[in-house]
Amino acid sequence: MGEKEILEKLERKGVKPTANRILVLKALLSNSTPVSLSDLEDFIVTMDKSSIFRVLTLFLEHNVVHAMEDGSGSLKYEVCMSEGRCSLSDMHIHFYCEVCHRTYCFKTIHVPVMELPENFTPHFVNYMIKGECPECKRRHSEI
């Protein structure tokens, strides 16, 4: 996604494109997997942790990103690709490797639709599968 598309995405989501917001969105888009606040802090050396956190909080409020807990003890963030609000149909399955501690997105595998009891309205679903990724499994089998 180029600079123009980043500016347009922020504006469509109702977020004023400032230098810090553009930096954080670029960093999120440059990663193929969800990233933590700590990961972003390492990646964006020109911003401090509290500034990055404020941008992430704003992005969550405006559905620019969604966050998930993968079991590592920290939230992971990824860009919401829908044009409007992040809906349940945008949610996809994630895989957390218990060996290398990486989180993988399976964007083509959507979270299964579940029927909830009457008057329960879901807003977010976190579907996390934990196990061993192919790379770690291969390394294990070589030992």
97 is in an annotated binding site: yes
Is 133 labelled a binding residue?
yes
- Residue 100 assigned as binding residue: yes
Residue 136, annotated ligand binder?
yes
For residue 11, the one-letter residue type is: E
Rounded Cα–Cα distance for residues 85 and 137 (Å): 37
Angle value at C-alpha 128, between 71 and 12, nearest 5 degrees: 100
Residue spans of alpha helices (H) in 35-133: 37-43, 49-61
Q: How far apart are CA 72 and CA 102, in angstroms?
A: 9
Report the alpha-carbon distance of residue 83 to residue 125 in Å, rounded: 19
| Binding-site sequence positions | 97, 100, 133, 136
| Binding-site sequence positions for Zn(2+) | 97, 100, 133, 136
